[in-house]
A and B are shown apart, each in its own frame.
Chain A
Amino acid sequence: MKTFYNEAETYVDEMLEGIVAAHPGELAFAAGERRAIMRVDAPVKDKVAICTGGGSGHLPVFMGYVGKGLIDGAAIGNVFASPSMNQMLTLTRAVHGGKGVLYLYGNYGGDVMNFDMAAELAEEEGIQVRTVLVADDVASAPKGKESERRGVAGLFYAYKVAGACADSGASLEEVAVTTEEALAQVRSIGVAISPCTVPGAGKPTFTLPEDQMEIGMGIHGEAGIHRGPRRPADEVTADMVRLLLEDLPLAAGEDVSVLVNSLGATPLEELYIVYRKAAEILGEGKVKVYSPYVGRYATSMEMAGYSITLFRLNDRFKGYLDHPVRTPFVREGR
């Protein structure tokens, strides 16, 4: 894989400096911490602050969602590695607007341990913290073991709901419970056809023969549920939507938001071919698609592949999806 960067050692720091330099009116480093980025007007007084974080390599996850209507800040680790407890704690102090802080991030061991420790120390300082984990990848653990699942593109919907709910003036407990209720209605699954290479690692995160694909692969190259010959987009998409609907049955007349996400290298053209088929299948079941999203929402550097996420909606969640947001990567509504 040919790439453009300077040194593996400075990859993350230079990327973050670039993002802050490109969006000076919107983003800033939190309290001088070079691994924590917050909205420039943080702390927002009397609003529940929302913090996220995790390893680099997934843009626009995480920094791309920092801004009005979504989240207040993100702590950023090395590629695919959790940020430190202290980076999270520094961010927490910087964004806390007096109404508590929600930690909202993907279910990965290193992130959980660091965020939990930061939460303990923040509580000791008198900052109220609640944690909600995103665990939407149906391929990473079977039904019945939902809490062991990994968090992937469903992060986007989690940020949308939590951000809109927090903007409505809700309490920390209300934002946390609402976000959990929404996440109970979110499911994702991915498919990969080629890997990415962590800078400095020298070799790709996995190997997959040219004629093969893997359904269910995680965004760090974690093993999926089915490896087999590559097939046309419609067939693969039909399999994936079927797996999602087995986990999250949708009745005729129900509303669902669909997110077709590129894992990095897969182009928009292919995503729309995928979306077409997904929408067709949902339409056959008389399920109504409300607010589709197609694009790069949660990536794995230059991995080729895509994921599909379904979010089963009620009127309240529809309202949250319509809530205007303004971040460097997402601009919706007023």
Chain B
Amino acid sequence: MAELTLREVVEIFAELARAFEANRDRLNELDARLGDGDHGLSMARGFGAVASLLQEKPPGTISDALMQGGMHFNEISGSTIGILMFSAMREAGKAVAGKERAGVPEMAEMLAAAIGGIQKRGKAQVGQKTILDSLQPALEALQGALAAGEPEGPALEAAARAAEEGAEATRKLESAIGRARWFAERSKGELDPGAVSGAIIVRTVADHFSARTDT
């Protein structure tokens, strides 16, 4: 059964750190076409630092892990992406306050809360070529699969696929917010690095549970 416990959360952050380290240069290159070219570095540094923090100073609950982790991410990677990840992790943490475990329906609630946090802080909407353009399709796919009574593994897989498709579809969008909006015209045809990162996050969580089901 796919269920988040504190141990799983700590493991997933370690896996996110590895995933972003592996994708660091690719994300930097994508970012350099529309921004300052440090997105991969910010994500790798941020998740690397959160993974270390959680291993060194294990928090008491899932909620604390996310909220303290988000604070630390922002501390290490300041700037726009740092505060957006903080807002996302803080809201996701609040959504599971007091819980020791979180099943897939709770994960959907966490994702919805994270999206809400990003929207509130970044004042962005879906379709503006941001991380929301992979996270929102993932949420919809997850909710749809759960409502259709699909098993948890395939539901998470559907979310990961939807996030990847959403990221790919940002090629058709024009940057409408943030520093990249200065390159709105030029941004057509390019992938949004934030949306790609969103897809990496959802994929990492889905793979964490599918790997466990396999063994």
Contact = CB atoms under 8 A, between A and B. Distances in A.
Given A109-B179, A113-B122, A223-B182, A81 B78 contact: yes
Contacts of B78: 77-78, 81-84, 87, 110, 114
B79 A117 contact: no
B64 to A, nearest CB: 16
A117 B87 contact: yes
A86 B75 contact: yes
Contacts of A156: none
Nearest to B41: A200
B89 to A, nearest CB: 12
B114 interface: no
B121 A86 contact: no
Given A109-B178, A113-B122, A85 B79 contact: no
A80 B36 contact: yes
A204 to B, nearest CB: 12
Contacts of B38: 81
B30 to A, nearest CB: 16
A85 B90 CA distance: 13
Nearest to A218: B182
Given A85-B86, A116-B121, A110 B80 contact: yes
Contacts of A81: 38, 78-79
B51 interface: no
A82 B37 CA distance: 15
Contacts of A222: 179, 182
Contacts of A85: 71, 74, 83, 86
Contact of B75 (A82, A84, A109): A84
B93 interface: no
A113 B84 contact: yes
Contacts of B121: 113, 116-117
Interface in B146-203: 177-179, 182
Nearest to A221: B36
Interface in B49-92: 71, 74-75, 78-80, 82-84, 86-87
A65 to B, nearest CB: 21
Contact of A110 (B37, B75, B83, B182): B83
B182 A113 contact: no
A82 B182 CA distance: 19
B80 A82 contact: yes
Contacts of B79: 55, 77-78, 81-82, 110, 114
Contacts of B83: 82, 84-85, 110, 113-114, 117
B80 A109 contact: yes
Interface string A101-121: 000000001100110110000
Contact of B74 (A109, A114, A116, A205): A114
Contact of B71 (A80, A86, A109, A113): A86
Interface in B119-160: 121-122
A116 B79 CA distance: 13
B182 A84 contact: no
Contacts of B179: 109, 222
Contacts of A77: 78-79
Interface string A207-240: 0000000000000001100000000000000000
A205 B32 CA distance: 11
B74 A86 contact: yes
Nearest to A223: B182
B80 A84 contact: no
B213 to A, nearest CB: 37
Contacts of A223: 182
Contacts of B84: 113
B125 to A, nearest CB: 15
Contacts of A78: 78-79
Nearest to A148: B181
B74 to A, nearest CB: 5
A54 to B, nearest CB: 10
Contacts of B74: 84-86, 114
Interface of B: 36-38, 71, 74-75, 78-80, 82-84, 86-87, 121-122, 177-179, 182
5 contacts: A78-B79, A80-B36, A81-B78, A117-B87, A201-B36
Identify the 5 closest CB pairs spanning chains A and B, nearest first: A110-B80, A81-B79, A113-B83, A110-B79, A84-B74
Given A110-B83, A117-B86, 10 more contacts: A78-B78, A81-B78, A84-B78, A109-B122, A109-B178, A110-B79, A110-B82, A113-B84, A116-B121, A222-B179
